[in-house]
Amino acid sequence: MSREIVIDPMTRLEGHGRIHIFLNADGGVDRAYLQIPELRGFEKFVQGRRAEDMPQITSRICGVCPMAHHMAATKALDDLYQVDPPPAGRKIRELLYNAFMVEDHALHFFFLGGPDFIVGPDAPRQKRNILGVVDAVGLEIGKEVIGVRKQLRDLVAAVAGKAIHPVFGLPGGVSRSLSGELQQQAAAAAARAIEFSQFALGAFRKTVLGNPGYVEFITSEAYTHRTYYMGLVDDANKVTFYDGTLRVVGPDGKELLRFAGRDYLDHVAEHVEPWTYMKFCFLKDIGWTGFADGAASGVYSVAPLARLNVADGMATPRAQEAYEEFVTTLGPKPVHHTLASHWARIIELVYAAERMAELAADPQITDPQVRTLPAAVPREGIGVVEAPRGTLFHHYRTDERGLVTAANLVVATQNNAARIALSVDKAARALIRNGQVDEGLLNRVEMSFRAYDPCFGCSTHSLPGHMALIVEVRDADGSLVQELRRD
C-alpha cells in the first residue's frame, strides 16, 4: 500500500503550490511531485494588443518582480523595432534594474531564506518567520531592511514613474532623462545599498559559515544536483543582469553554449508532464531524458547559483572578493549544492549595489539624449534579462502595425522547474524514511525549493485566508488516513 503526503500551501513562497509525496509500502519515498496551479491564458490575452503596451501589461503579471517583466518587455521592443537605446538610456535602465535586484535579493535573504538560515531549520515553527528573523538579527537591522528597500523604491518611483509598475521603458530608450538631483539620489541610495550588502554578507558569514553544521548541511548529497547551468555574462564572462550573452556550462563546468537571447529557441525546449501545467525547460542540444542530473540529461538551472557557475567572476571589487571566498569554500566550480544559492544571492546583492554606484557616478547617465526613435516595421522581438530568480525571456510577434499576434514568455521558475522537481524528490527521499514524517523533515523538504526563490502563481493576490500548512496522508485508494495541520 502506498501513502500520499500533500504539503499545501507551501509556506513563505509566492503563489500557491502543492507538494505530493507518495510513500511506498516500506514507508520510503516512492516519488515526490511539486504541483503548480498556474495562472493561465496570458498568450491569448495579449493577442491584438499594441506591442508598446507590453511593458505595462507584463509588469502586472507579477506583484513581486514587475521590473523584470517591464525590462524584458522593453528590450523585446528594442528588438522588435530594431533600435538601440543611446548610452544614457541604457544606463538609466541598468541603474534601476540593479536597484530592483538589490531590493529583491535583500528581501529574499532576510525574510524568505532567513527563517531557514538566520533562525535555523530546526528552530520551533513559531520562530521560523519574519518576526523570528527580526528577533534574531535585531530591531535595528530589521528596520534597515525596510529602510533600504524604501529608499530604493523611492528612487525607482522618482525615475520610472511608479515603484510597483514602472512606466519608463520605451522601444529605443526611456521616457525621460536623469536630472542631476536624481543622480545624487541614486548615488545616495547606492552607497546605503553597498553598506547594507556588506552587512548582509557579514550576517551570512556569522550565522551560516560560522556553523559547521550548516556548511555540512549545504554540501550534503540531499541538496546536490550535477546539472547544466545558464545565465547572462558580459564580454569578460562576468555576471550581468540587464544585458549580455547567454552562456551554458555543463556539470563539469566547461562551456557548452554561448548564444544571443534572440536564438533561445534553438537551445531551449519545453517538456510537458501529465500531472502539472508547468512546462519543464531543457537544453535542446542535450535532450530530455527525464528528471535526472548528469551530463546526459538536458536539465539545467538558472538564478544566483547558476549565474555564478556560468561566470568567471564578478565585475565589481567587493563582489569579486566575496565570489572568491565562495569558490574557495565550496569549489571547485561548478558548485552543485542548491542551498549555496543563498550565499550566491548575497554575492549578487553586493554586485548589484556596487553596479548601481558605478552607474550613478557615470557622468554620461545625465545626458538628455535617452531615446532613439524607432523607424523600422515591426515583426518579431525577443528580450532577455536576468530576473532575481533567473533568466527571463519575452518573445513577441506582431503584424506590421505593431499589434501582437503571438507572445511567448519563459519565466525564471520555468527554466528551473525540472531541477526544482529533482530537488524536491531527492530531498524527500533522503529525509523521509520508514514513513516518519515530522514537521522538521517537511521543512527541510521545503527548503530544497525555497533556495530557488521560486515564483509561481505570479499575479494572484487573493488572501489565502490563513496561511496554513496542510499535510494529507492518503492510502492507495485515495482515502484520507491522516491529516496534519499547521494553523
Partner 1 sequence: MRTLVLGLGNEYAGDDAVGVLAVRALRGALAGDTDVVESAASGLALLEVFAGYDRAVVVDSIRTGRCPAGTIVEAGLAELGPVIAPSLHQAGIPELAAVARRLGMDFPDRTRVLAVEVAGPLMFGAPLSEPVAAAIAPLGRRVLERVKRWTSEDSGRGLAEGAGPGTKDTAPGGPGGTPCTTTTRSARS
Q: Contact positions toward partner 1, by CB under 8 A?
A: 9, 11-15, 37-42, 44-45, 57, 60, 63-64, 107, 111-112, 125-126, 128-131, 134, 139, 142-143, 146, 149-150, 153, 163-165, 455, 457, 459-469, 485-487
Long-range contacts of 161-165 (CB under 8 A, 24+ apart): 164/63, 164/66, 165/56, 165/59, 165/60, 165/66, 165/70
Going from the C-alpha of 447 to that of each of 304, 390, 459, the distances in angstroms are 16, 18, 23
CB of 438 to partner 1, least distance (A): 16
**Nearest CB to partner 1, comparing residues 213 and 464:** 464
Are 62 and 69 in contact by the 8 Å Cβ rule? The answer is: yes
Give min distance, CB of 240 to partner 1, in A.
Answer: 25
Instruction: State in angstroms the smallest separation of the CB of 125 from partner 1.
Output: 7
Least Å distance between CB 440 and partner 1? 14
Q: Which is nearer to partner 1, 64 or 322 (CB)?
A: 64
Shortest separation between residue 413's beta carbon and partner 1, angstroms = 12
**CB-wise, 441 or 467, nearer to partner 1?**
467
First to last CA, the chain: 29
Calpha distance 436→448 (Å, rounded):
18
How far apart are the C-alpha atoms of 309 and 314, rounded to whole Å?
11
Report the distance separating Cα 95 and Cα 77, nearest Å: 19
Nearer to partner 1, 53 or 252 (CB): 53
Least distance (Å) between residue 17 CB and partner 1: 11
Q: CB 160 → partner 1: shortest distance, Å?
A: 14
CB atoms within 10 A of CB 169: 29
Grid cell at residue 415: 527554466
Query: Could you tell me how many residues make up the chain?
Result: 487
When the beta carbons of 225 and 395 are compared against partner 1, the nearer one is: 395
Strand boundaries in 102-198, DSSP class E: 169-170, 173-174
The CB-of-225 to partner 1 minimum distance in angstroms stands at 25
SS3 228: strand
CB neighbours of residue 13 within 10 Å = 18
Cis peptide before 332 (omega within 30 of 0): yes
Taking the complex as a whole, the smallest distance from the CB of residue 62 to partner 1 amounts, in Å, to 9
Element (H, E) at 247: strand 245-249
CB closer to partner 1, 207 vs 460: 460
Report in angstroms how near the CB of residue 39 gets to partner 1 at its nearest: 5
Torsion sign over Cα 58, 64, 66, 68: negative
| CB nearer to partner 1: pick between 165 and 205 | 165
Nearest CB to partner 1, comparing residues 235 and 477: 477
Q: Which is nearer to partner 1, 366 or 460 (CB)?
A: 460
Q: Smaller CB distance to partner 1: residue 21 or 46?
A: 46
User: What span, in angstroms and rounded, lies between the C-alpha atoms of 430 and 436?
Assistant: 12
**Distance, CA of 149 to CA of 153 (rounded, Å):** 6
- Contact between residue 272 and residue 361 where contact means Cβ atoms under 8 Å apart: no
350: exposed, middle or buried (Cβ count in 10 Å: 0-12, 13-18, 19+): buried
